[in-house]
Amino acid sequence: MKAREMNRDWIATARTLSEALPYLQRYTGAIVVVKFGGNAMGDDDAMAEFARDIVLMRQVGLNPVVVHGGGPMINDLLGRLGIQSEFVRGKRVTDKATVEVVEMVLTGLVNKRIVQAIMDQGGRAVGLSGKDDALMVCEPDDPELGFVGRPARMNVQVLHDLFKAGIIPVVAPVGTGMNPNETFNVNGDTAAGAIAGALRADRLLLLTDVSGVKNAAGEVVTELTPEDVRRMTQEGVIAGGMIPKTETALAAIEQGVRGVVIVDGRVPNACLLELFTEHGSGSLIRAAHRAPLNGRA
């Protein structure tokens, strides 16, 4: 009885793999930028599962780029160092001392942890920041906020070079400035959107701790156009922390990204569900004129 049950599981697994074939073929050579953050970053098992999915994506012919955040780790170290934070209109002022901590945590701790997790799953990964090879040159987002940057000039050649070598780039959202010796902290979603736009990526996946964009009835909307997003924002349906994510999505689409998906990163194998199944995962935002890549796109 147990053997028969196991055989049924194998059959179901084989069927799933077979059904994924058209999507594996469509995404061969595609560039997929994944913004990784949220609770999964602090959980070893979730980190390992995420890394396994990224390695699988590379193994089947995709070119994934991981862009990560690290807010909780930054807050923890600032507290331990006794560095007080000042806020303007709800946003942290990033002075010189704070941006040094940000760079240390993101490029030295979080970035290398993700690189190691990918390598532990049999992949090849290299960690870098927006400062490397002038990948992300920034200007101040708001002078009152200090060293908080907005990407102004992108140089993604280093990412293409890593793709050719079969290496997965893992990018910390720290950029250089227009002036010598400037360092800017960049919002992780903003950095991922800028990188996806500069690469003209096929997909930008924004992993979050929510199930997606919800309508007025509280139901997740699986597909939206930019016009839908603007209307729902004006109506107040899209509000709070979802606004910057949808703004990132719209900016990326305007730069040529084929589709942006706000994905619930708490769902096991969320990236694979989005890319390699007909129904996808989360809320897909794409221009109405773009041709489909998978069953729902």
> Which of 179, 200, 221 corresponds to the end of one domain?
200
Whether 148 and 82 map to the same domain: the answer is yes
> Are the C-beta atoms of residues 282 and 274 closer than 8 Å to each other?
yes
Question: Tokens 């992949």 belong to which residue?
Answer: 123
Between β-strands 168-177 and 223-224, what pairing exists: parallel, antiparallel or unpaired?
Answer: unpaired
Angle at 173 between CA 270 and CA 220, to 5 degrees: 30
Question: Which contiguous run of DSSP H or E holds residue 169?
Answer: strand 168-177
Tell me the C-alpha distance between 248 and 143, whole Å. Answer: 21
Residue 184 pLDDT exceeds 80: yes
User: Taking residues 275-294, what's their average pLDDT?
Assistant: 75
Whether 72 and 175 map to the same domain: the answer is yes
Residue 295 pLDDT exceeds 90: no
Asked, for residue 3, whether it belongs to a domain, the answer is no
Beta-bridge partner residues of 175 = 184
- The string of DSSP letters for 103-125 reads HIIIIIIIHHHHHHHHHHTT--E
Containing structural domain, residue 183 = 61-200
The backbone torsions φ and ψ at residue 65, rounded to the nearest 5 degrees and listed phi first, read -125, 130
Indicate left, alpha or beta for 39 from its phi (over 0: left) and psi (-120 to 50: alpha).
alpha
pLDDT attached to residue 294? 53
Q: Select the more confidently predicted residue: 262 or 266.
A: 262
| 39 — pLDDT class (breaks 50, 70, 90) | low
pLDDT attached to residue 1? 43
Whether 129 and 259 map to the same domain: the answer is no
CA-derived radius of gyration, the chain: 19
Whether 190 and 94 map to the same domain: the answer is yes
| Number of domains observed in the structure of the chain | 2
Highest mean pLDDT among 22-26, 35-39, 148-152, 211-215: 148-152
Whether 240 and 291 map to the same domain: the answer is yes
Tell me the C-alpha distance between 16 and 33, whole Å. Answer: 24
| 8 — pLDDT class (breaks 50, 70, 90) | low
The pTM score is 0.90
